[in-house]
Structure 1
């Protein structure tokens, strides 16, 4: 049953990304281009997501445990360090230059377009470099 829930949640998330236009790099780049051809519509997507997720977290976290897992998997690290800041800067630069972040790139990969495959291969390459440099 839990795998079916994960499948349905993933399909809902992917459909939302596609319908909102977040799988379109040009739309994302126009959202980030505040001094040029700015498109504020993705702010509405983020606002709608927060309006749904915030009360959801409030109600779910009142439970003793998740419905489909043994324990809640919440982040425990709360400090801001150089590694976090550098990673955020690199993520933001990659997002701004490509117009894609990981989830929309995975959804866009379904189009079969080569740029999305190249983006994902580069992203996985970066993850391997991180593992080699920081996790040894």
Structure 2
């Protein structure tokens, strides 16, 4: 049941990305082009996500436990280390250069193109390198 809930949440997320047009890298690049032909669509999608998340968290925290677990699993680390900052910088650079981040890239798979394929190869290679080079935790 837990896996099914995860798949349904992923499907809903992907559908939201497709409906909002966020699977089109030109929209993301247009949003980042503040000195040119700025596309404000992403700010409205972001605003909708923030409002939905705010309401969702308020509802979830009223529960004693999650639906499919015995307790909530919250992160405990609060520090900013080089791995986190470096990963965030690489994510931002890749997003800005390609117009894709992992969610929209996966949601765009049905319309696979060479730029999308190149992004996905770089994504998998980066994930693999990060796992190989990072110390075991």
Bigger shift: 15-24 or 82-91? 82-91
What TM-score do the two structures reach when normalised by structure 2?
0.90
In the alignment, does 2:119 pair up with 1:113?
no
1:1-136 alignment to 2 at 5 Å?
A: 1-136=1-136
Bigger shift: 6-15 or 40-49? 6-15
What TM-score do the two structures reach when normalised by structure 1?
0.90
Bigger shift: 108-117 or 42-51? 108-117
**Which structure 2 residue ranges, 5 or more long, are not aligned?**
none
- 1:120 deviation in Å? 1.2
**Which structure 1 residue ranges, 5 or more long, are not aligned?**
none
Paired residue total: 136
Residue 110 of structure 1 aligns to a residue whose secondary structure is helix
C-alpha offsets along residues 80-134 of structure 1, whole Å, 9 cap, x if unaligned? 1222111111110000000000010001112132322221121110011111111
Q: Distance in 1 between matches of 2:108 and 2:45?
A: 17
- 1:38 deviation in Å? 0.9
C-alpha offsets along residues 65-88 of structure 1, whole Å, 9 cap, x if unaligned? 101223323322111122211111
